Amino acid sequence: MPTSTFSGLRVLSLESRHAGEASKLITSYGGHPVTVPALREVMLEPNPQARSFAANLLNGKFDMVIFLTGTGIRGLLGSLEGVYAPAELRSAFGHVQVVARGPKPVSALQEFGVKPDVVAPEPNTWREILRTLDGRVGPEKLNGLHVAVQEYGVPCTGLLTGLNERGARVTRIPIYRWALPEDIAPLQNAAGMIARGEIDVVLLTAAVQADHLFQVAGEMGIKESMRGKMERMVIASVGPTTSEYLGSHGLRADLEASHPKIGLLVAEAAARSAEILREKHKEQGLDFLHEIGHRMACSTPLREVLRRVVEFAASVVKCDSCFVYILEDNQLVLRASKNPHPGEVDRLRLGLDEGITGWVARNQQPVAIACNAFQDTRFQFFNELPEDSYEAFLSVPILCRGQVVGVINLQNRQPHAYTRREIRMLSTIGFFVGAEMEIARLEEKSSQLSQELETRKIVERAKGILQRELQVSEEEAYLSLRRQSRQMRKSMREIAQGIIHERTSGGQKKSLQ
């Protein structure tokens, strides 16, 4: 195995044509591959522009032909089979300057028996083509030349603009277009994995892969959450064109292959990913502290605070599930979760004497179990949460002024020895957000009490109206309100508000029901 490895990181490859090779390379460098094709190449058939190009080539109407991809060359020649003899085309290519963007178009041309006159150097982008032509031919000599450009999935606007600016007369030859895979379910699953923080490294070998990933994420309604998670991952790009294009999605490549080859991309990503992630986690911790401080200043609702706690905790310590419990009336209530039990949020309640979670809250100490968590004497099975399917368990208290206000639990399906740093990081989260959670909880309770007081005032006012109009006792007026509430299936407040509104609007007296 290579000396520099991914060390178990989860690596997403969006490569289509060389998916198998990418998966084997990731595995050989110690990564867990997630290989998901992000595109397919659809040949344009019929292709009248390709036939028009061939006819004009044979008639000597071109001075230069620029080939950008090997697939495009093979597709072009395939569309001309049976129409023009290969020998005719080879002879025609001998009378024009043939330019190849890099080794793949060179290889395809050589298969056909054509040797290119100009080959752009690495990193084989349109910029290298223009620079090479400026050096070999001269920008002024391009003026007036008839140049054909074989395109790939989309027009190469940078190259076309550069040629036009130099006075060349450009003819585009589209051969194929890029489309989403016929089955987009794997790509949707990949977008979901990124949004949930289940991917550590993503390898991009074409700019359109990012386009399709974000297109699918947008349709799923998770584009922004996926973008946020990608900022915390390692984004490895095969070359400058792909790196540059990431900017249109608000992202930047963390590393770019020294040569535009998938083998080097994987090798260099394996060597640098761990270091990049460490740096990002440092920045992430600072960003999170700043965000929580900002939320405290802005009185952010408790549910939003808990959502971010779950996201951050699950990104700092890789896990399969994360739960946040809040202490309410001497019970721990599940208030936020990351997989797999969102339906139990706000419903599940644990006593302080129940399970590992209750022990952590009662003793205000963290518990870290690397394997066989269900065999721990403090463990308790709950039907709602089949936690015995998890091997590893990390639980830390959330404290405020020396008092427990909640518990954060992380779980892993496979054995996992939680490091001292992971335990300290999660405990620090508990220390820092404890005050914010307590403030938010007290604000919600205060708001609830305020609403209850306002309801009581409204009900008392309605009771007074009934007492005066109907000459009844306070208890009889209250019983009348309660009876109407039950019969009409409305709250006491709604019934009372109706009575007040009716009387203040000059309505008729209501009799006892």
- Going by pLDDT thresholds of 50, 70 and 90, the confidence category of residue 97 is very high
Task: Give me the chain's average pLDDT, please.
Answer: 87
Considering 272, 295, 318, which residue would you say is the last residue of a domain? 272
Average pLDDT, stretch 411-429? 84
Mean pLDDT across 7-15 = 96
Q: Where are the beta strands (DSSP E) in 71-121?
A: 97-100, 118-119
In the block, residue with structure tokens 């490859």: 13
One domain for residues 212 and 323: no
196 SS3 class:
coil
Structure tokens, 6: 């991914």
User: Is residue 336 assigned to a domain?
Assistant: yes
Residue 114 near residue 142, CB atoms below 8 Å: no
The residues, any chain, with a CB within 8 Å of residue 246's CB and separated by 6 or more, are 204, 207, 210, 235, 237, 252, 253
Please name the residues in contact with 188: beta carbons below 8 A apart, sequence gap of 6 or more. Answer: 216, 220
How would residue 295 be classed by pLDDT, with cut points 50, 70 and 90?
Answer: low
Strand partners, 452: none
Matching residue, tokens 């986690």: 281
d(CA 396, CA 218): 35
pLDDT at 308: 79
In this structure, the answer to whether residues 32 and 74 fall within a common structural domain is no
Number of Cβ within 10 Å of residue 256's Cβ equals 18
pLDDT at 14: 97
Residues 81 and 209 in one domain: no
Q: Judge if 308 and 425 occupy the same domain.
A: yes
Q: 205 pLDDT band (50/70/90 cuts)?
A: very high
Mean pLDDT of 57-77: 96
Sign of CA dihedral 205, 209, 214, 217: negative
Q: Give the DSSP H or E segment for 133.
A: helix 126-136
**Would you state the pLDDT for residue 449?**
82
187 contacts 180 by C-beta, under 8 angstroms: yes
The pLDDT confidence band at residue 275, using thresholds 50, 70 and 90, is very high
**End residue of a domain, out of 272, 306, 325:** 272
Range of the domain at 465: 451-504
The total number of residues written for the chain in this structure: 513
Q: Is the pLDDT of residue 299 over 90?
A: no
| Domain-located, residue 494 | yes
pLDDT score of 290 more than 80: no
Residues 61 and 82 in one domain: yes
* CA 2 vs CA 12, 29, 202: distances in Å: 19, 6, 20
Cis peptide upstream of residue 37 (ω within 30 degrees of 0): no
Q: What is the pLDDT of residues 301-326, one digit of tens each?
A: 777 778 878 887 887 787 888 899 99
203 assigned to some structural domain: yes
**CA–CA distance, 500 with 442 (Å, rounded to integer):** 32
Give domain status of residue 135, yes or no.
yes
User: Of the candidates 382, 402, 401, which has an alpha carbon nearest to the alpha carbon of residue 390?
Assistant: 382
- Whether 57 is covered by a domain: the verdict is yes
3-class SS at 159?
A: helix
Q: What percent of the chain stands above pLDDT 90? A: 51
Cis? peptide before 46, omega within 30° of 0: yes
Q: Does 122 have pLDDT greater than 60?
A: yes
Considering only 26-30, 86-90, 188-192, 417-421, which range has the smallest mean pLDDT?
A: 417-421
User: Among the three residues 178, 199, 224, which one is the final residue of a domain in this structure?
Assistant: 178
Q: Report pLDDT for 34.
A: 97
More confident residue, 468 or 99: 99
The model's confidence at residue 387, banded by pLDDT at 50, 70 and 90, is very low
**Which of these, 440, 471, 512, 12, lies nearest to 235 by C-alpha position?**
12
DSSP 8: T
Compute, in degrees rounded to 10, the torsion defined by CA atoms 298, 302, 305, 311.
-160
pLDDT for 215 equals: 96
Say if CB 70 and CB 104 are below 8 A apart: yes
The number of folded domains in the chain is: 4
430 and 343 within one domain: yes
- 284 pLDDT exceeds 80? no
Q: What is the CATH number of the domain that holds 265?
A: 3.40.50.10090
Give residues with Cβ within 8 angstroms of 489, minimum separation 6: none
Other Cβ atoms closer than 10 A to 505:
7
Sheet strands side by side (includes 392-400): 349-351, 331-338, 321-328, 403-412, 392-400, 367-369
Q: Answer yes or no: is pLDDT of 292 > 70.
A: no
For the full predicted model, state whether its pTM sits above 0.85: no
Q: What is the pLDDT of residues 320-378, one digit of tens each?
A: 888 999 998 889 999 888 865 666 788 888 999 888 999 999 999 999 998 887 777 77
| pLDDT tens digits along 421-445 | 788 888 887 887 787 767 766 777 7
Whether 341 and 416 share a structural domain: yes
- What local confidence, expressed as pLDDT, does residue 402 receive? 83
Shared domain check, 154 and 50: yes
Structure tokens at 306: 């808990």
Is the pLDDT at 143 greater than 90, yes or no? Answer: yes
Residue 74 within any structural domain of the chain: yes
Average pLDDT over residues 484-504: 87
The domain that holds 495 is classified in CATH as 1.10.10.10
Residue 394, pLDDT score: 92
Percentage with pLDDT > 70 across the chain: 90
Say if residue 27's pLDDT is above 80.
yes
508 Rama sector, left if φ>0, alpha if ψ -120 to 50, beta otherwise: beta
pLDDT at 507 over 60: no
Lowest model confidence (mean pLDDT) among 97-111, 202-216, 275-289: 275-289
66 and 193 co-located in one domain: no
In a domain, 512, yes or no: no
Residue 198 has pLDDT above 50, yes or no: yes
Please tell me whether residues 126 and 164 are part of one structural domain. Answer: yes
Using CA atoms, how far residue 401 sits from 145, 229, 301, 398, 432, in Å, is 78, 33, 21, 10, 11
Checking if the pLDDT of 138 tops 50, the result is yes
CATH of the domain at 386: 3.30.450.40
* Residues in Cβ contact with 355 at an 8 Å cutoff, skipping those fewer than 6 apart: 378, 379, 380, 382
> Are the C-beta atoms of residues 240 and 207 closer than 8 Å to each other?
no
- Give yes or no for a cis peptide into 123 (omega within 30° of 0): yes
**3-class DSSP state for residue 150?**
strand
Q: Which of 111-115, 347-351, 463-467, 489-493 is predicted most confidently?
A: 111-115
In a domain, 279, yes or no: no
Shared domain for 188 and 298, answered yes or no, is no
Query: Are residue 305 and residue 370 in the same domain, yes or no?
Result: yes
